[in-house]
Structure 1
Amino acid sequence: MKVIICGAGQVGWQIARHLSGEANDVTVVDNNPDLVRRATDTLDVQGISGFASYPEVLDRAGARDTDMLIAATYSDEVNMVTCQVAHSVFGVTRKIARIRSQSYLQQMYSDLYRRDHMPIDVVISPEREVAEAALRRLSAPAAFDTQSFLDGQAQLLGLHLDEDCPVLDTPLRQLTDLFSTLRAIVVGIRRGTRLFAPEPGDQLFADDQIYVFSHIDDVDRTVEIFGKTVKKQNRVVIVGGGNVGLAVAQALEARADRVRVKVIEKSRACAERAADALERTIVLHGDGLSMELLAEAGVDRADAVLAVTDDDKTNLLAAVRAKSGGCPFAISLVNDPTLLPLMAPLKIDAHINPRATTVSSILRHIRHGRVRGVYSIGDAEAEVIEAQVLSTSTIAGKTIREIDFPEGVLVGAVMKGDKVIKPDGSTRIEEGDVIALFAMAADVPEVERLFQVSIDFF
């Protein structure tokens, strides 16, 4: 497949890495020559310097015979015009655009993206993706990372193991014997700086960060087995009343269980806009780093604080201050991956990476039917892949123990029809089954080959 990716920032680079690794013909376009050079030096891609919306630039990038264009520059308007030019001038059949501004995304204007108006096939809103990620974090407060798979019937949970975890020093195969009815599998372990897919004889130790696949009905029990307390989030303080904070507050207001929310916003204009849009939520105007304002918002009585301003350092410090003020659980929005090692020393419970959520969303829309979802772990160190088994796949008709998976791959859950099961070595994989598996980054191309998805995306 021939793909043009417009924008060579973190999102564009990650998409290019994924697609070029699957032997696709990828061209990256950016008006910053340094970003283009970084992409061509580190990835098997071609690079074009120039403005992506210019017809001659797209022509040089090969738009006349490309299969797909992904517009992920920093400008909504450039992304939209790029898709229009790709459609009107070059007849590109599939166009995906990243659009941040909520003004372009209101439901009443949805006709804007029809083929005879602004022809964009898939619109990705990073802020909506981040808001949904924040809501997932709040729904599983014991986890530092969480993502849904298999039509919402399976959940990936990232759990940090404390000294009082009751299953420390227990081999993983013994956990299966101890909790035979538990539909959960440990698929990844981060020990220090090393992330790996464990063997059945591997033990769990204090300070390990583990990734567990759990059936949605067994999430609470899974969390408790690994020493975490299941607690409902009744009171939430949100630092940052921009688009993300507002979307989260509105979603919490809409819940039937009546979560009490308070929002702190530094910008008066944003605070007034949030106050007008929210019905039951209290909006406080001021600095989220102020201990006095955090105390006024009631962080000592809150179940969680969510720091989602547009500044990473503010989010980290606001989370630290809220924790010092008595809040038991803090989530920070962090764009810069180099800041993530600070999470543990600062005792911040969970983070949201906007770029990772956007990349995962774009990949989910690129791959139709065969690979249904991709979720990036850490700094692109591993991926969780949800894929459907084709009749032509080499794994169809085999049991899991008969399949020659790479060492860094573990199957976390299998969906047969509409039923999700916990797999073991004797589980037979049939045509039409959907598998969710954990794969180290180096093993992803081999996983793609096993599922035979790279030759047929559509």
Structure 2
Amino acid sequence: MKVIVCGAGQVGWQIARHLSTEKNDVTVVDNNAALIRRITESLDVSGIAGFASHPHILDRAGARDCDMIVAATHSDEVNMVTCQVAHSVFSVPRKIARLRAQSYLDTMYSDIYRRDHLPIDVVISPEKEVAEAALRRLRMPSAFDTESFVDGQAQLLGITLAEDCAVINTPLRQLSELFSTLRAVVVGVRRAGKLFVPLPDDQLYVGDQTYVFAAKEDVNRTLEIFGKPQKKAERVVIVGAGNVGLDIARQLESGERRVRCKIIERDRARAETAADALERTIVLNGDGLDAGIMAEANIATADAMLAVTDDDKVNLLACARAKASGCPLVIALINDPSMTSLMAPLGIDAFINPRATTVSSILRHIRHGRVRAVYSIGDAEAEVIEAQVMSASSITGKFVRDIAWPEGSIVGAVRKGEVLHLPRGDTRIDEGDVLVIFALTAEVPKVEQLLQVSMDFF
């Protein structure tokens, strides 16, 4: 597939990196020549220095015969005009735009994106994606990562194992014997910084970061067995009143459960804007690293704190201070994945990677065939793919044990009709079944080939 990525910043970089590793023909456009030099030297992509919205630049990038354009520059307006030019001049079949301004995202004005107006097929808002990820963490405070699949029937849980975990030093094959009615399966383990798909004889150890698929009804029991009983967050402190913090506060205010929320914002103008936009949330103007302002926010009695400023170091240190003050759950927004190694020493419970959430969102619209959803794990270490089995697939009519799954992949759930099943060796895969597959990034192309996901079904 030929793709043009406009913008060589963090979002564009991650998209280009992911697409290029899957052997797509990727060209990156950015008006910063230094960024273009850096990305072409680091990734297997072509680069064009210039304004993405200029027709002659898109022409040089190969827009006349490209399959898709992803407009992810720092300017909403440039992204919108780029999609318009791609449609009107080059008839690019699929156009994805990254938009940040709340006004552009308001459903009241969504009619603007019709093909006869401003032809954008998919609008991606990284800030909204990050806010949604943060809210998922709050709803599942015992897990460091979580995502739902098959229309909410199955949940992926990221659980860090402590000494009170009941399954420590137990071979995975014995879990089904010990907990015969538990519908949960371990699909991934990160140990000593390396993520792998465990075998049935593998054991779990203290400190392992495990990824578990569980049926919705068994999520709470799964968390208890893995030593992470569920607690609801009723008092929340947010550090940072930017787009992400504001969106989180708005959704907490409008939620069914009443959550008492406070926001700490260092910039006075931004704090005043947040105070005007919110109804019940208390906005404090001050530094999230200041012990006095933390005390004013009653961090010691808060159930959770989210640090979502645009500075990773501030987020990490604010979480460390909150944890030291007695806050049981702290979540940090971290743009640089290399900083996640500081989580354990600082006592941080969970992190949100904006690039990973944005990539996951965009991948849902890039995949071919019957793929229904894609979720990126960690720093693009693995993917969870939800796909419907087609009649022509090589796996149709076979039992799970007879299918040559790539070594770094595992089936986490199978839905037949409306019924969710945990996969076993004698589970038969039929046409129309929905599979949820955990696969290391290197194995994703093999999994897609197994599912016969190709341009023929695009």
TM-score, with length taken from structure 2: 0.96
Find the counterpart in structure 2 of residue 273 from structure 1.
273
Alignment match, 1:248: 248
How far apart, CA to CA, are the structure 2 residues paired with 1:368 and 1:405?
A: 20
- The residue number in structure 2 matching 1:429 is 429
Counterpart CA distance in 2 for 1:457 and 1:60 is 29
Q: Is the 8 A contact 2:369 2:453 kept in 1?
A: no
* Greater Cα offset, 360-369 or 258-267: 360-369
Q: Distance in 2 between matches of 1:179 and 1:305?
A: 34
Letter in 2 for 1:77: E
The offset of 1:41, in angstroms, is 4.3
Amino acid across the alignment from 1:51 = F
Distance 2:457 2:47 in 1: 23
1:22–1:454 Cα contact (<8 Å) kept: no
1:329, distance to aligned residue in structure 2 (A): 0.6
Query: For residue 158 of structure 2, what is the aligned residue in structure 1?
Result: 158
Give 3-state SS (helix, strand or coil) of 1:26's partner. strand
Greater shift in the superposed pair: 410-419 or 25-34: 25-34
Tell me which residue corresponds to 2:112. 112
Counting aligned pairs with the same residue, the percent is 71
Structure 1: runs of 5+ lacking an equivalent: none
C-alpha RMSD over aligned residues = 1.6
Q: Matched residue of 1:446: which SS?
A: helix
> 1:22, 1:448 within 8 Å by CA — same for their partners in 2?
no
Q: What is the distance in 2 between the residues matched to 1:278 and 1:400?
A: 51
Residues 401-428 of structure 1, C-alpha deviation per residue, up to 9 Å, x if partnerless? 1110111111111122222211111111
Task: State the secondary structure of the residue aligned to 2:284.
Answer: strand
| Conserved? CA contact 1:171–1:204, under 8 Å | yes
How big is each residue's C-alpha offset from its partner over 1:230-257, in whole Å with a ceiling of 9 and x where there is no partner?
A: 1111111111122111111111112222
Contact residue 157 and residue 213 of structure 2 kept, 8 A? yes
CA gap of 1:174–1:26, structure 2 versus 1, over 3 A, is same
1:17-416 equivalence runs, <5 A? 17-367=17-367, 370-416=370-416
Cα deviation for residue 195 of structure 1 reads 1.1
Q: Could you list the per-position Cα deviations for residues 251-299 of structure 1 after superposition, in whole angstroms to 9, with x for gaps in the alignment?
A: 1112222111111111222222222222222111111111111111111
**Distance (whole Å) between structure 2 residues aligned to residue 47 and residue 452 of structure 1:** 31
CA-CA distance at 1:38 after TM superposition: 4.4
Structure 2 Cα separation of the partners of residues 160 and 457 of structure 1:
39
Taking a change above 3 Å as real, the CA distance of residues 404 and 140 of structure 1, as seen in their structure-2 partners, is same
Asked if 2 retains the 8 angstrom alpha-carbon contact of 1:21 and 1:445, the reply is no
Q: Following the alignment from structure 2 to structure 1, what is the Cα–Cα distance between the partners of residues 340 and 329?
A: 17
The TM-score with structure 1 as length reference comes to 0.96
SS at match of 2:357: helix
Paired AA for residue 211 in structure 1: Y
Looking at structure 1, the residues matched to 24 and 141 of structure 2 have their Cα atoms a distance apart, in angstroms, of: 39
Output the amino acid matched with 1:129. Answer: E
* 1:300 maps to amino acid: A
Give the Cα–Cα distance (whole angstroms) in 2 for the partners of residues 404 and 6 of structure 1: 38
- Return the offset for 1:171: 0.4
Q: In structure 2, what is the Cα distance between the partners aligned to 1:48 and 1:391?
A: 42
- For the Cα contact (< 8 Å) 1:8–1:39, is it kept in 2? yes
